[in-house]
A and B are shown apart, each in its own frame.
Chain A
């Protein structure tokens, strides 16, 4: 990736450039550090606005409080469940469909491809989707969260494009040995595609983890709210007095100001799983975006 550079003198350009880049890094980091610091600072200092980028009167009580809040653990569990089963289901749908679509000889291939392009371009809209979910009795069930966004055409094309780059000769060799299409798919194609599979798995998983709007649309039962929706209620009720139904109440503001460190702690705890997988995420995501996002 990086080009080999000859050792040269450090110039003014280098100094200015590195300084600006360090500033960019700080702009990205400081707001996050500020939130983390608030999560670990004592409540009084948070309200007084004394907390900058390092905890003042360090304590872990707020984090413990969040972890023991029943609503938090319930919604955390909902999100973990949805992320696991949603990602599994999504990968099955996507990978299975991508293989036949990568075969130029497939009859009707164009037609199927157009269907997947079409759903990427045109959506019936919020109301028809909501009415459908109501009719199927999916609202206020965990399936509403799992089925929302279970197939992304973008991811489908990513995998399909990757399959198309695999050398046809290897598949042919397996076929000559008498392997069926399925056999070739599972024993030859999939093992050669682990990088793109990892990438797309992570795309889906992060998508499910971060999705708050499916909850807002389809879930009103508190025991089924995903983590992001729980936080949405927590954060927006405190600041704009809005709840997920778009209604506004003006009682919560005064009450919630003191909850600022709780909000900070909730956000920090909810983000830890993302941070744990982030190093892998970064590696594969970058790969994914350069593999096949733009097609020639």
Chain B
């Protein structure tokens, strides 16, 4: 324990450092911590107009409901479906899109022309900067009834396929569009890791007469392994995030059975149908599980690789 005088002196010398923190803390207080108080809505029969003109004070005044809304919603088949969809879509994305950036980075690195590498990177990073609305527009234009793919299909004398309205294909479209948008961007971290590799190993392998594939398999991939493990753990920790921004744009009622995730369900219940308490309850359920998973994955990542997200 230091003397009080020391602390005072410290504060007098460094008060300006604390002043710099003030705007961000005020923002966090209003827009992140104040809403936490709104979580009470999940445990109340919330009436927005209990206190006229002040939806926030209405939270305090509304009668308690205990766990009523949780019990109700956990029995609803749509909620259970949305919960299942969240996990299924996430798992699909992990299985199919997680390996692609690694493969892409490894093989693009094998291309000898640096100009070619840079040019292709310029192209594959581009979709990351487009919003999901724009990506959806691109996919509709490509896959829609008058799109290129359907022109080819009808050209072969087959029936046109409605990709975005068909429950059997919709998750596939989600995975493909997600891969299309992010494959380049996700590969950056692997490029950086490859660029940092020790060249001596490769030269030694050359002397021993190793083939390109052997060098990739026995040198590049093993040295990428720590990065891969770290990214995979982080990705699995984010399993509750199935891609809300994407699905909210892409989905429609004909595919709710396969595409409705917790986030979209919360939106439709809480803000679409104005079932505020149900929406808050599901949102809270989601936030708590997500936080536990992310914390655990960060803990595991630190144990396994010595690195973490923070």
Contacts and interface: CB of A to CB of B under 8 A. Distances in A.
Contact of B20 (A2, A96, A123, A289): A96
Contacts of A29: 123
A202 to B, nearest CB: 9
Interface in B98-134: 104, 107-108, 110-112, 114, 116-117, 120-127, 129-134
15 contacts: A28-B180, A35-B142, A96-B20, A125-B266, A125-B283, A127-B38, A127-B271, A127-B279, A131-B276, A132-B31, A135-B54, A150-B31, A228-B131, A286-B188, A289-B188
A129 B35 contact: yes
B229 interface: no
Nearest to A248: B253
Interface in A213-243: 213, 216-217, 228, 231-232, 235-236, 238-242
Main secondary structure of the interface of A (DSSP, over half): helix
Interface string A1-38: 11101001001011001101100110111111011001
A77 interface: no
Nearest to A231: B133
Interface string A30-69: 1110110010000000111110100000000000000000
Contacts of B36: 124, 128
Interface string B121-151: 1111111011111101111111010111011
B41 A127 contact: yes
Given A117-B310, A231-B134, A122 B291 contact: yes
B59 A96 contact: no
B21 to A, nearest CB: 5
Contact of A24 (B34, B120, B230): B120
A213 B290 CA distance: 20
A150 B26 CA distance: 12
A81 interface: no
Contacts of B131: 209-212, 228
Interface of A: 1-3, 5, 8, 11, 13-14, 17-18, 20-21, 24-25, 27-32, 34-35, 38, 46-50, 52, 92-94, 96-97, 99-101, 103, 106-107, 112, 115-117, 119-132, 134-136, 147, 150-151, 156-157, 180-182, 185, 206, 209-213, 216-217, 228, 231-232, 235-236, 238-242, 245-248, 260, 263-264, 267, 270-271, 274, 278-279, 281-282, 285-286, 289-290, 293-296
Interface string B256-296: 00000001001110111000100110011011101100110
B23 interface: yes
Main secondary structure of the interface of B (DSSP, over half): helix
B267 A126 contact: yes
Given A121-B291, A128-B280, A93 B16 contact: no
B168 interface: no
Nearest to A274: B129
B32 A35 contact: no
Contact of A127 (B110, B116, B147, B270): B270
A135 B48 CA distance: 10
A182 B19 CA distance: 10
A121 B21 CA distance: 20
A271 B127 contact: no
B65 interface: no
B72 interface: no
